[in-house]
């Protein structure tokens, strides 16, 4: 089973789309193994978006990501990284396929509702930014009747 980091970004959280987005991932068969609500600060943004520092859009990106709460989660499932990115759709919602999360919930290419890791290496790095080992529930869980 593969794990990936997903962020429900401030735009989607502020518009109350979080439940619909989470439901979509669960309907696709992913298991939520970690989740938290947080407000990203500039330090966390600089770690998460380190490869974007110095690019023309970086300040706007940090301003947006630190503007309101977001939901960070770790999803687990078969081929989670590729499948979640497919479900999310292209970054620009106008180019995203019908039925994708960004087509339905994103406002623009820069206010695009969700983030997901793009490779196993990124997933490992990004998950460790937002969660420590004790916050990730790796065991099978069953509710007792």
* Assigned domain for 144 exists: no
Selected residue with higher pLDDT from 40 and 140: 40
In the chain, DSSP assigns E strands to 2-8, 31-38, 70-77, 114-116
**pLDDT > 90? residue 116:** yes
28: which residues sit within 8 A by CB, 6+ positions away?
Answer: 77, 83, 87
* Assigned domain for 119 exists: yes
* Assigned domain for 141 exists: no
Mean of the per-residue pLDDT values of the chain:
95
Cβ distance 100 to 87 under 8 Å? yes
Average pLDDT over residues 111-136: 97
pLDDT, residue 144, reads 67
Residues annotated within the binding site for ATP are 9, 57, 85, 91, 102, 112
Number of structural domains the chain divides into: 1
**Residue 138 pLDDT grade (very low, low, confident, very high; cuts 50, 70, 90):** confident
**Residue 139 pLDDT grade (very low, low, confident, very high; cuts 50, 70, 90):** confident
- Catalytic positions are 115
3-class secondary-structure state, position 60: helix
3-class secondary-structure state, position 96: coil
* Assigned domain for 139 exists: no
State both tokens at 77: 């499932």
Residues annotated within the binding site are 9, 57, 85, 91, 102, 112
**Residue 145 pLDDT grade (very low, low, confident, very high; cuts 50, 70, 90):** low
* Assigned domain for 142 exists: no
Q: pTM value?
A: 0.93
Which residue, among 41, 54, 49, has the nearest Cα to 5 in the 3D structure?
A: 49
What is the domain extent for residue 41? 2-133
* Assigned domain for 140 exists: no
Q: What CATH number corresponds to the domain at position 52?
A: 3.30.70.141
* Assigned domain for 12 exists: yes
Cβ distance 8 to 112 under 8 Å? no
Q: What percent of the chain has pLDDT over 90?
A: 93
State both tokens at 72: 């960070």
**Residue 118 pLDDT grade (very low, low, confident, very high; cuts 50, 70, 90):** very high
Average pLDDT over residues 6-35: 97
CA distances from 16 to 19, 29, 70 (A): 7, 22, 11
* Assigned domain for 79 exists: yes
CB atoms within 10 A of CB 131: 18
């Amino acid at each position: 089973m593969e794990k990936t980091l997903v962020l429900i970004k401030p735009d989607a959280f502020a518009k109350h789309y979080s439940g619909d987005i989470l439901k979509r991932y669960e309907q696709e068969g992913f298991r939520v193994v970690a989740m938290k609500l947080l407000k990203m600060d500039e330090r966390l943004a600089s770690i998460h978006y380190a490869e974007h520092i110095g690019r023309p859009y970086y300040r706007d990106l940090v301003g947006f990501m630190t503007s309101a709460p977001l939901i960070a989660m770790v999803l687990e499932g078969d081929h989670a990284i590729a499948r979640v990115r497919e479900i999310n759709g292209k970054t620009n919602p106008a180019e995203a396929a019908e039925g994708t999360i960004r087509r339905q919930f994103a406002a623009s290419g820069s206010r695009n509702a969700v983030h997901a890791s793009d490779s196993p290496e990124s997933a490992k790095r990004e998950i460790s930014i937002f969660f420590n080992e004790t916050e990730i529930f790796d065991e099978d869980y069953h509710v007792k009747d």
